[in-house]
Amino acid sequence: MLSLSSVTKRYGDVTALDRLSVNVPDDSYVSLLGASGSGKTTLLRVIAGFEEPDGGKVIYDGHRLDGVAPHRRGIGFVFQNFALFPHLSVADNVAFGLRYREEEPVTDPSELKARVADAIRLVGLEGLEARKVTAISGGQRQRVALARTLVTEPRFVLLDEPLGALDANLRERMCDELRAIRERLKVTFLHVTGSETEALLMGDVVAVLSAGSIAQVGPASSLFALPKSADVARHLNAYNVLSGRVVKGGFEGAGARFALPGKQAASDGAPIEVALRFDRISVRPAGATAADPAGEAAIRARFIASEFTGASVLSFFRLEDGTLIQVVAHLSGPAPQAFTKDELYELSFNPQDVIPFIERAA
Amino acid sequence: MMEIAGEQIRSAAPAMGEDNGVSPAERRDRQERRTALMLISPGVLWMTLFMVLPMIMVVYVSFWTQTTFTVEPKLTTDSWVRFLTSSTYLASTWTTVRIWGIVLLSTLLIGYPVALFIGLMVRNQTLQTALLVICVIPFWTSFLIRVIAWRPMLGTEGAINMILMKLGIIDTPLTSLLFSEFAVLIGMTQIYCVFMVGPITFMLSRIEPSIIEAARDLGAGFGRIFFKIILPLSLPGVIVGAIFVSVMVLGEFATAASLSGRKVNLLGNIIVSQVGSLKWAFASVAGVILTVIIAVVITALLRVVNLRKEM
């Protein structure tokens, strides 16, 4: 198990990692979700040893890793830009670690050949062994980078936005393959990404990195269903976040007022943030005082624009106080309504679906 | 539909240009060939007039008949025989090659670490440029002053001897510092080192830092990374630097003339002195031999790396 405790890393006045603590279990696929600038890459570089932390500890199976030179840590790193050796062939790139590593290099040519061939077969690059890495496609380079790392049999592999440089089709295929490869090798993958869909799809466990520390860790489905803070909710790109105040155990703000689910311990007037999923909102024209289903809450908002994304339509509304609200309508349901720009609409939802975050704002 | 469209295109074509039956692709090819010819002709003209013709002339003159004060266009191999049978001239050819080899090696040994520092350690581009400019500062003075400035450094009463005496390391001044082959080697290394540093720095600064990190992550120590990654990737720079240094050192005469006290005679010195005494035919022989040596060296260096693929 890899555990980081209170790891801090500063660059001048900027604190990239702020007393970050996290445990990464063995034999698992962990995805680390973070916006750009949240310290994702710094975290990986600290684990790999390219940077040393200013404070805190990095411990792997009871051994301190910080302070150990990167080439003695036994941790694999797959770079975002692949970082292949441009003057070597595919096979020589893959063989590099085994051949030239300081500890226990593989000197027997036949063993070297067999292991390189295995790694190349693992990532499906048979037939390209003699090619220069400058003469293969982006997806193939990604595979070389992966094979080059995996052939050295690290128990822990760091993947820095490994799919970022690939086009959408290829990305989906690589996702499946990465998971399959990991399951076959029984190693730990720590996959860093800025895409919430990728993080949720890939990770057995998802960790959300925000402002230099881990905001939440958990299985993908529970993390998505129940974000612990407004920050995590924002990262998931599936929640509208409203801010307001607690009034009589309910929420008031942004031109809305509704009861909150469960009992709220917060006193009146305490600031509060609530998250409301994009797909839990229905829209109807304002003023049409249709029968309000019991317990429904509603906010008035002006329609701005819609985006057609294939299987669903994403609509943008603006509240009176300027907050942007997104609504998702799935096209599998009844035909979506056509909205008129700058018209007022009523956005209604069940207050039981709202997730309140009092402790964070308090 | 297709028929009609074809008809229209055919009827439109003659109206657009007078050259019937020429496809647009062909027309563009011709245009590009014309442009290429225009771009290359000044260079070709210049090189023909001032390099190819003079070189043919030098080869021709090397077979002329030389008397004490005149040279006549009567063909003979006398000058060639004299050069190739004289131990003095063969020795100076060997000296030229030997000094070239030593200077090439010393500029590489001194220049490479400097380039390594500027190109790889310094990742700030402004600082990189500033450091390279510092390397070029000696070139703000004239070539001769740079060479002669070594005299007060290396002389019997020069700075180095004074310091060594003051420190008590030596009792009597070292006389072999100045007016010796050593002085020529020092002078040349200092002058030509920067031509090695520049191209190597350029190649090193193009190496992605993540490539070196990847090699470390795969378990390689510094030595392996240097010999298997950094050196091969910077080799084109080494070759370009070596070509610069070779061309300049092989044709050198001024450094040897002013720092060796006439103890070191390079082919360049022979050409200068023969031209000085109006021995044109003999100077031409030395010139042809020097040109052949330079051509061989450059060809050999270019064999090491395919520069066209790297640039």
State which of A248-252, B112-116, B136-140 shows the largest mean pLDDT.
Answer: B112-116
Domain boundaries, chain B: 20-61, 78-310
Which residues numbered 250-289 in B keep a CB inside 8 Å of some CB on A?
none
Q: Amino acid identity of A196? A: E
Instruction: Using a CB–CB cutoff of 8 Å, tell me whether A149 touches chain B.
Output: yes
Interchain contact, A96 vs B217, CB within 8 Å: no
Residue entry with tokens 């540093």: B197
Whether residues B213 and A97 touch (CB distance < 8 A) is answered with no
Stretch B151-169: mean pLDDT: 86
Q: Tell me the two tokens of residue B55.
A: 């070189």
Work out the pLDDT band at B309, boundaries 50, 70, 90.
low
Instruction: Say which CATH number the domain at A37 has.
Output: 3.40.50.300
Report yes or no: A152 at the B interface, CB cutoff 8 Å: yes
Torsion on CA atoms B3, B6, B11, B16, rounded to nearest 10: 170
Residue A80 CB partners (closer than 8 Å, separation 6+)? A41, A160, A161, A162, A164, A165
Say how many C-beta atoms besides its own lie within 10 A of residue A209's C-beta: 24
pLDDT at A362: 39
Taking a C-beta distance cutoff of 8 angstroms, is the pair B96, B267 a contact? yes
d(CA A152, CA B160): 54
Residue of A nearest to B232 (CA): A87
CB-CB contact of A324 with A316 (8 Å): yes
Q: Which of A174, A198, A225 is the last residue of a domain?
A: A225
Residue A230 placed within a domain:
no
Residues B235 and B227: their CA atoms lie apart, in Å, by 11
A278 and A220 housed in the same domain? no
In a domain? residue A233: no
Indicate the residue of A84, A87, A101 with minimum beta-carbon distance to B219. A101
- In this structure, the answer to whether residues A93 and A21 fall within a common structural domain is yes
Query: Looking at the structure, do residues A28 and A151 belong to the same domain, yes or no?
Result: yes
pLDDT at A308 over 60: yes
Q: How far is B256 from chain A (nearest CA, A)?
A: 41
CA distance A102 to chain B (A): 5
Q: Which CATH architecture has domain B78-310?
A: Orthogonal Bundle (1.10)
Yes or no, beta carbons of B213 and A83 under 8 Å apart: yes
The Cα A141–Cα A163 span in angstroms is 11
Inspect the interface and report whether the beta carbons of A152 and B229 lie closer than 8 Å: no
Q: Tokens representing B288? A: 């042809």
* Inter-chain residue contact B219 with A48, CB threshold 8 Å: no
Phi-psi region of A255 (alpha: psi -120 to 50; beta: other; left: phi over 0): left
- Asked which of A225, A257, A274 is the last residue of a domain, the reply is A225
Q: Is the pLDDT of residue A66 over 70?
A: yes
Residues of B in contact with A76 (CB under 8 A): 217
The DSSP line for B212-225 is HHHHHHTTB-HHHH
**Taking CB atoms and an 8 Å limit, are A77 and B214 in contact across chains?**
yes
In this structure, are A34 and A142 located in the same domain? yes
Q: Once rounded to an integer, what is the mean pLDDT over residues A128-140?
A: 90
What is the domain-level CATH number for residue A301? 2.40.50.140
Q: Residue B310: what pLDDT?
A: 60
Tell me if chain A has a CB within 8 Å of the CB of B72.
no
Final residue before a domain boundary, out of A225, A256, A288? A225
Domain count within chain A:
2
Same domain, A195 and A55: yes
Contact A79 B233 (CB under 8 A): no
Q: Are residues A168 and A46 in the same domain?
A: yes
Residue A131, Cα to own-chain centre: how many angstroms? Answer: 34
DSSP letter (8 states) at residue B228:
I
| Closest residue to A152, CB basis, from B213, B219, B224 | B219
Sort out which chain A residues have CB atoms less than 8 A from B229's CB and list them.
85
Cβ-defined contact of B211 to A86 (cutoff 8 Å): yes
- Report yes or no: A96 at the B interface, CB cutoff 8 Å: yes
**Is any Cβ of chain B less than 8 angstroms from the Cβ of A76?**
yes
Q: Which chain A residues contact residue B306 at CB under 8 A?
A: none
When pLDDT is averaged across residues A243-257 and rounded to a whole number, the result is 80
Residue B162 has pLDDT above 70, yes or no: yes
Which of B217, B229, B233 minimises the CB distance to A71?
B217
> How confident is the prediction for chain A on average, in pLDDT?
86
Q: A316 is in which domain, residue-wise? A: 239-361
pLDDT in tens, A152-205: 989 899 999 888 777 777 788 888 888 888 998 899 999 999 888 888 888 889
Residues 181-220 of B with CB under 8 A from A: 208, 210-211, 213-220
- A186 assigned to some structural domain: yes
Measure in Å the smallest separation between the Cα of B125 and chain A Cα atoms.
19
Q: What is the pLDDT of residues B5-53, one digit of tens each?
A: 544 555 444 445 555 678 899 999 999 999 999 999 999 999 999 999 9
A329 class by beta-carbon count within 10 Å (0-12 exposed, 13-18 middle, 19+ buried): buried
Greatest Cα pair distance in chain B: 105
- Rg (Cα) of chain A, in Å, rounded? 25
CB contact under 8 Å between B224 and A102, yes or no, is yes
Q: Are residues A306 and A199 in the same domain?
A: no
ipTM here: 0.82
Residue A332 lies inside a defined structural domain of this protein:
yes
